[in-house]
Structure 1
């Protein structure tokens, strides 16, 4: 407790700080933005357990969400834009603007929600 007995005004002497209440509005907007950013970019997808990978891809499939997917090929990492067309235990059928691709779940590195400017290339 802070001693304010030296102050001339009673209201100043009896003031009680609201602590985090005064920052709550700022925190909520920043927290909401951070949460939405967290769900748009899944990093280290290759380190996730297989059940988590399948669950995430099933959600993308069910919502027909456009995504950007990074896939490890032999010596390169390729990015594809599109949506999940089909999924099974080990493979994913990915629909791009020009083709359908069969991708092994083990080769998928990252998944990002496609941004509006990326949607044009799908």
Structure 2
């Protein structure tokens, strides 16, 4: 793994690890029609204006029923704003990627396919610089 020596905001030596990503499981639980899965809140770990190693937040979606896939961001972990959304087509994988511009991220999947899903998978990740 490549590293880069830098100075942090306080002028102290710091090391940045370059490349790679952190990934997380979302859900494999089937959603009934009209229900929404809300993923775990992911924390970049630093406040706005601080150096962090992430370039993108990514969310992966797959289901055997149509749905609405969204990525939300928050500065405080309680007020959420949709930053990306797309229609999830039946049995067609979908990935949404957004630049890291806030501290908190999460993904959501709404099943609006008319009946309960029998196959679903979501996951999310941070891509490193």
Regarding TM over 0.5, the answer is: no
Looking at both structures, which has the greater relative contact order when contacts are Cα pairs under 8 Å and sequence separation is at least 6? 2
Give the TM-score, by structure 2 length: 0.28
Structure in which a larger fraction of residues adopt helix: 1
Give the TM-score, by structure 1 length: 0.29
Larger radius of gyration: 1
